Copies of this chain bind each other. A is one copy, B any other.
Amino acid sequence: MTDAHEEAGEAARWWATAVSHIEPGSIELRDRPVQDLIGTAGLVDIIWLMLRAGLPTPRESSLLEAALVAGVDHGPQAPSIAAARMAATCGVGLNNAVATGVNMLGDAHGGAGQQCVEMLTDIRDLYASRGSWQQAAQEVMADWQSRSRYLPGFGHRFHPVDPRRDPLIGLVRQAVRDNVVGGDFLHAALAVEAILERRRAGARPVPMNIDGATAVIYAELGFSAPLARGLFVLSRSVGILAHAWEESGQGRRNKGPIPRSVLPARLPQPKDA
């Protein structure tokens, strides 16, 4: 009987959570009754609350909001957007179409924000002993570039300059001046950018991109690295939904990636090992 008691409690503990608590007639989010939040708390505050248990200050909330707004969309050239639009023509629900797009926000597509927070954190940690942002950035960049030819958060296959960088970095600068955030991650990112600019003098620039600029904000606000990806997911879901919705009104069925008149080229068969 003790065993049975323990098993029943075990099932309850198996799903134990601090995020929310639901009983018949009662819904608490982070120990706060949901009815106290509806109509008083903003959506961005609730995102913060659900992820971190506390509430942000208004300035913290604004900074997070700017990052979330900046990443909502990058058009049908982004594979996540294109896939969601195609899904919307295949006879599935809008939720399935959104899930299809979100599922593709992996390490190479939005997930770079997570890696960028990690890299900036490495730089900040090294700065403590090196005393120079440039020196710290150089060492950490060398380490990252020895493992991959991409530096997460910098460079864009498409934009020579990413129009989202300046307004986002401007907001972080202001927040540092006003003591809303500390500024370490901003300094780390600017050091990386300066080094890249010197290296590539005259060549195609490698500007800070959306993953980089938002990573600075998420890190300055104290979010863990994996949440850089998680927050990007929330942000880009808006664009994914908007595109899936527009597509569903255009009347196509089983929309492929290219017009039906274009046939994919034929590649030679590989030799099996």
Chain A residues within CB distance 8 Å of chain B: 1, 3-5, 7-27, 29-31, 33-35, 37-39, 41-44, 46-47, 50-54, 62, 65-66, 68-70, 72-80, 82-83, 85-87, 89-96, 98-100, 102-111, 150, 157-161, 163-164, 166-168, 170-171, 222, 226-227, 229-230, 233-234, 237-239, 241-246, 248, 253-273
Contact = CB atoms under 8 A, between A and B. Distances in A.
23 contacts: A4-B9, A12-B262, A16-B267, A17-B265, A24-B160, A26-B163, A30-B269, A35-B163, A38-B66, A39-B66, A43-B69, A43-B238, A46-B69, A51-B241, A79-B87, A90-B105, A93-B105, A95-B229, A99-B100, A108-B254, A230-B241, A233-B241, A257-B257
A102 B98 contact: yes
Q: Closest 7 interchain pairs by CB?
A: A91-B107, A91-B108, A92-B106, A91-B106, A257-B257, A99-B103, A50-B242
Given A41-B69, A70-B34, A234-B238, A107 B78 contact: no
A17 B244 CA distance: 11
A30 B83 CA distance: 20
Contacts of A33: 163
A189 to B, nearest CB: 17
A38 B69 contact: yes
A20 to B, nearest CB: 5
A100 B95 contact: no
A120 B152 CA distance: 31
